[in-house]
Every structure is written in structure tokens, then in C-alpha cells.
Amino acid sequence: MPKPAIIVLASRIGAGKSTLAQALGLLSGYRVFSFGQYVKQIALTQNTSVNREALQDLGERLVANDPESFTQEAFSSIDFCAGIIIDGLRHKSVLEQIRLLANQVPLIVVFIRTDDRIRTDRLAARGMSLEEIERAENHIMERFLEQALLPLADIVVDGAASPDSNAEAILCRAANLI
């Protein structure tokens, strides 16, 4: 990629965000930032549970209370000018804050669409029961994610495709967008 960019990955649970983020990071040399890991760190400092449902609830509360502070604190030590892959965008309000922080660094939103059956199989392979998958899928963050973020995407990829080929396609398309 000719110049640094901020590449933000959004999708439903189990769509392949983290795997794609790692592939993009390796290919681009950009740092990978994970919202999931960030919220998990907060949970650990608060001595609260780090199961998926608790993390979803915590993330939702943090953003609902103050999306500006949540975003500023999350990226307080990030140099956007060096390029970054952001794994796990869940809220339109956080995207708006990232745009403000980007300070003229091109921002590209990538939405990963993955068939529900593939996502369910991936989650089951991670050890989630069907009941846990259903609860995670029905969390408010998940239910409205596609409706809120897909229209904002600059690039849409198929999460069933190879992460490496998706990463190459994203970086190629991103180079044309910036």
C-alpha cells in the first residue's frame, strides 16, 4: 500500500474478522488493534467476567455511556499515521469517533459477509454450544450490526473466501480508494 491507512473490519460474530485482520496485518505491515481484546483488558482490570456475553454487555455499556471517551481511550497510544487494522467495529458512533481521530489518514471500512451456517460452524468449532451461539447472535450488538454498518462499508468481502485472498483484494482496492 503506497501510504498508511486505517482499515476497519466489521461483521457479525464468527465471520472471520480476527483471521482477516491478522492476514491484513502481515501483508500490510500495519499494527492490528482488536476491540475484543481491548474490552477484555478493561474487564480484567475491573475484575469482571471475561465470557463472551459479559464482554458483549461491557462493550455495549462502555459505548452507550460515552462513545467519545471509549474511542479516545482505546486509541490513546495508537499512531494512525503508521497505518492500522482495526478488528471488531460494532458501533456506528465509534466509527464516527475514529473518523474524527483519523486526522486526514484515509479510513476504509470493510464489512465481512459470511453465511450464517459457516459462522455457526466456526463458533461451534471454538467450543460454543448452540445455546451460547444463539445468545451471542441475539445480543443487541449483534442483531443490528449488519443493518447499521453494512451501508457504511467501502468494501464488502465474502468471509468464506481465503483470508489471504481477501487481504490482497482489500489492500488492492484500498490503494485505489486513497
pLDDT in tens, 122-169: 999 999 999 999 998 888 878 888 999 999 999 999 999 999 999 999
Strand ranges in 115-159 using DSSP code E only, listed in sequence order: 155-158
Residue 96 domain flag: yes
User: Does pLDDT of 1 surpass 70?
Assistant: no
pLDDT, tens digit (0-9, with 9 covering 90-100), for 70-98:
999 999 989 898 999 999 999 999 999 99
* CATH number for position 168: 3.40.50.300
Report the C-alpha gap between 139 and 116 in whole angstroms.
15
Residue 1 domain flag: no
Closest by Cα among 149, 152, 29 to 84: 29
Report the C-alpha gap between 66 and 8 in whole angstroms.
20
Indicate the number of domains in the chain.
1
pLDDT, tens digit (0-9, with 9 covering 90-100), for 102-118:
988 999 999 999 999 99
Model's pTM, two decimal places?
A: 0.92
> Residue 93, class by beta-carbon neighbours within 10 Å (0-12 exposed, 13-18 middle, 19+ buried)?
middle
Range of the domain at 126: 6-177
Q: Which phi and psi (to 5°) does residue 167 adopt?
A: -60, -45
Residue 32 domain flag: yes
Q: Which phi and psi (to 5°) does residue 49 adopt?
A: -60, 150
Residue 56 domain flag: yes
Report the C-alpha gap between 10 and 149 in whole angstroms.
7
